[in-house]
Every structure is written in C-alpha cells, then in structure tokens.
Amino acid sequence: MSMPANPITRRLALPGWSVLRFSLTVVAGVLLVAAIVTGALVVFWVGIPFAVGVLLAIRVWANSQRRIIGEQLGVQIPAPYRTRPRTRIDQQALLLVREAATWRDVSWLAIDATLGFLVNLLYLGVFGVAVYYLVQPLLLVTVFHSAPIPVVNDFGFYDFDTPAKTLMLVPLALACGAAWWRWGELFLRWYSHLGVLLLGPTAKALLTARVSELRLARDETADHAAAELRRIERDLHDGAQARIAALSLTLGMAEELLEHGSPDKAAALVGEARQACSDALEEIRQLVRGIHPPVLADRGFTGALQAMALDHPLPVSVVDRLGDKLPQPLEAAAYFATNEVLTNITKHAEATQVQVIVGRVGHRVVIEVRDDGRGGADIAPGGGLDGVRRRLAAFDGTFDVSSPEGGPTVVTMGIPAATAVRGADHPAEAA
C-alpha cells in the first residue's frame, strides 16, 4: 500500500495513516517502558534474554515505521542493521547493544512515544473538531431530535445545546478544516522526515555499503575479465591456431611435392591452404567482433543496435532518444548487455515483438527492452540476466527486471555516462 499520487485523495487518506501512526506511538510507549525495565534487570543477568527479545521487538517496530514512513513519503528507507551471527544469547545481546542502529531505533522509539503521540493527537484532534462541529447541527436535527437530553457543548461561558446554537460553531469547524487541509499534510511530513533521519542508515553506513558494493563489482569484473581472456585463448588455440598449424603443414607438403616434380598435386595442396587461410581469417574476424564489434566504431551505439535488430529473428524496433556518442568502454558494455537481453528473449520469452528504447535521464544512459512474451523472467544466479547485471555493475550501472506472469517484460538498464560526448558524428535515427 502506498500514498495516492492525487493531492486531494492523499489528503483524504492521511487521517487513516495518522490513526495507524498513532497506534504505533502507543506500541512505542509500551516498548519504551519494557526497555527501561529490562535494562534495569540486565545487571542481574536474568534480564539478558528479555533484553534481547525487547531489542528485537523494537527492530520489528522500527521496520514497520520504515515501511509506513517510506510509503507516506514515497521513498525507500533501508534497514541499517548488520547480519547477526548465530552465537550465545549473551553475545547476541552484546552485539545488539554495540550496534549504532539499535540506539538510533531506541532514540526514535522515545521520540515517537512522546512527540509522535502529540503530533498525531493534534492532527487527529483538528480533523475531529472540523468533522464533529460540521455534522453536529445535522445530527441534532435528525438523529438526536427526540433525545430527552440533547448533546451539550459546554465551553464554560456558553452552552451550545440547540441546533440553532450549534450553527454558531460552524465557523470554528471551517477554520479547523481549512487548517487541516492546508497544513496537516505538511505537519505530518515534517515529522516523517525526522523519522527518516533516525531510521535510515547513517552516511558512514552508506559509505561502507557503497565500498562493499564497489569491491564486489571490482572482483566480479576481474573474474569476468579473466574468464573472457581464457575464452579468447581457448578460441585462438582450438580455432585459428590449429588452422594455421594445419596450413603450415599443408604448405610444407606442397613444397616437398614441388621438389619431387609433382606440380599438379602441389597446386591442389596450395588451393587447400588458401581455403584454410580464408577460414582462419574468418575465425579471427569473428573473434575480434566478439571483443569489440566494428559496427560500434562505424555507426555508434544506437546504429549498432539497429544493425543488431536487423539480424534478430524477432521484429525489433529501436527508439533513439540519446543522440550522444558514448565512451567506448561504456558503449561496448551497453551493446553486449543489450545483445544478451535480446538473446534471452529469443530463448525464453516466446515474444512476437521487441522494442528497445535508448535515452538519457540526467547523467545516466537508460536502456529499456520491452517484449510481449509470457513474462516470469527473473535474475537467477549464474544465468544470462545475472551476467548482464554483473557486466553493468563494473560501470556502476543498475539492472532491473519487471516481468509479471503473462507479461509484458520490461528490462531497464541504467549506466552513468556523464562523460558522453554531445553532438557525435554518428547520430542514430529512430527506427
């Protein structure tokens, strides 16, 4: 569930969200009291199991807050916790206590149990006053018109105890309603942003996670490069090198035949050698094309995609919204990644048509590949799509797959390309 995008619908839905947040502040108060009590019992050791349970319960509560606040603000708040090893309960308690995210959760717990309670109470109170005093005259005329004791609004200086008198409170209701409509959402969003500051990971945690991601991407890139070198070495050894060795033997035999006065047989062997030389050259060309396709240098990235689309067994349309010349390493990575996605569609998607959209969002090149196949695609470890993800990770790229059962499937690849050259010599036309 997420907040509606329409401003009017969103404001009307906020009271329900505030009721949910208000109930969580009550839970926060209970957990805060439990944390204080178990903290006092820890010195007697008997409180350690209870402390672990309370801290884990606080984490569950904090994760629910992350989800609700994230849905309200339209952001994602990742959990900043480290993985807990399976150890003795006293060691787990020590790890929980030493983790900075635990104390940030406890801080937000104390804030939400006090300030959050008041914030949501004030918001719901203003909303309730607006609704109550707007409908009260109607209720007195209809539902409570025959009640022996009418509803009394005793303000101390005057009793608004008749339908006519309660009409005098309508301006108050309208003022509260206007304040709720104008400032209520801003008030709740301000408080939610305060929660993001404490519930989200710190800058140090984000930096650590980013370093880990880059280290993993570097290792995967090194492994991929080593595997690619082994493939090239194997292809050269088993293909071109073997053909050239056979060519050398054939020419040697032809030389011997010429020395022994058999020019016809030597000419036949020279013809075979010529054919073997042509085959070896073709294999080398194919190998070079796999390393860096010449079409990329000749026609640019989108031009290469259009050439790829012409050779594809399915109807593929290419929409070029880029108009830039990309750096060569990024160009090659994007080309091979797109080629792998198209190959995966041919093998598994059962599609009838494919569309490739290339564009730019900020400083990122975004490639969308859409097909009308059966869907159900996922990034399985070791699979083709996982290989594309790893290839793009070397360039700090992203790889997302949206593929519900029954289709359609949309693969989105994003690659930072701030260094792309504007006004290239090979602009591709939209297909």
8 Å CB contact between 126 and 119: no
- Look at residue 115 in the predicted model and tell me its pLDDT: 92
Whether a cis peptide bond, with omega within 30° of 0, leads into 313 is no
Higher pLDDT, 272 or 194: 194
* pLDDT band with cut points at 50, 70 and 90 for residue 25: very high
8 Å CB contact between 421 and 324: yes
> Is residue 2 assigned to a domain?
no
Best-predicted range by mean pLDDT (42-56, 171-185, 249-263, 366-380): 171-185
In angstroms, the Cα distances linking 73 to 4, 22, 35, 198, 415 are 11, 17, 29, 15, 26
Number of domains in the chain: 3
> Is residue 107 assigned to a domain?
yes
> Is residue 12 assigned to a domain?
yes
What span, in angstroms and rounded, lies between the C-alpha atoms of 345 and 339?
10
Q: Which of 161, 176, 199 marks a domain boundary?
A: 199
> Is residue 337 assigned to a domain?
yes
Closest CA to 217 of 399, 67, 88: 399
* pLDDT band with cut points at 50, 70 and 90 for residue 26: very high
Residues of the chain above pLDDT 90, percent: 8
Q: Given a cut of 80, is residue 223 above it in pLDDT?
A: no
> Is residue 431 assigned to a domain?
no
> Is residue 1 assigned to a domain?
no
Higher pLDDT, 100 or 144: 100
> Is residue 428 assigned to a domain?
no
Q: What tens digit of pLDDT does each residue of 62-92 get?
A: 999 988 888 888 888 887 877 766 777 667 7
Same domain, 149 and 28: yes
Same domain, 167 and 214: no
User: Averaged over 373-398, what is the pLDDT?
Assistant: 77
Same domain, 151 and 273: no
CATH (domain of 381): 3.30.565.10
User: Averaged over 186-191, what is the pLDDT?
Assistant: 89
Domain hosting 186: range is 7-199
8 Å CB contact between 387 and 365: no
User: Averaged over 374-403, what is the pLDDT?
Assistant: 78
- Look at residue 28 in the predicted model and tell me its pLDDT: 92
Residues of the chain above pLDDT 70, percent: 77
- Global pTM reads 0.55
User: Averaged over 265-276, what is the pLDDT?
Assistant: 77
- Look at residue 421 in the predicted model and tell me its pLDDT: 43
The enclosing H or E element of 197 equals: helix 170-199
Q: Given a cut of 80, is residue 391 above it in pLDDT?
A: no
Q: Which of 268, 291, 314 marks a domain boundary?
A: 291
Lowest mean pLDDT across 301-305, 312-316, 341-345: 301-305
Same domain, 84 and 122: yes
Q: What tens digit of pLDDT does each residue of 319-332 get?
A: 888 766 777 777 77
* pLDDT band with cut points at 50, 70 and 90 for residue 425: very low
DSSP-derived secondary structure for 13-45? HHHHHHHHHHHHHHHHHHHHHHHHHHHHHGGGS
Q: What is the mean pLDDT of the chain?
A: 77
Higher pLDDT, 430 or 383: 383
Same domain, 249 and 262: yes
- Look at residue 403 in the predicted model and tell me its pLDDT: 82
Q: Which of 199, 220, 253 marks a domain boundary?
A: 199
- Look at residue 420 in the predicted model and tell me its pLDDT: 43
Count the neighbouring beta carbons within 10 Å of the beta carbon of residue 118. 12
Count the neighbouring beta carbons within 10 Å of the beta carbon of residue 117. 18
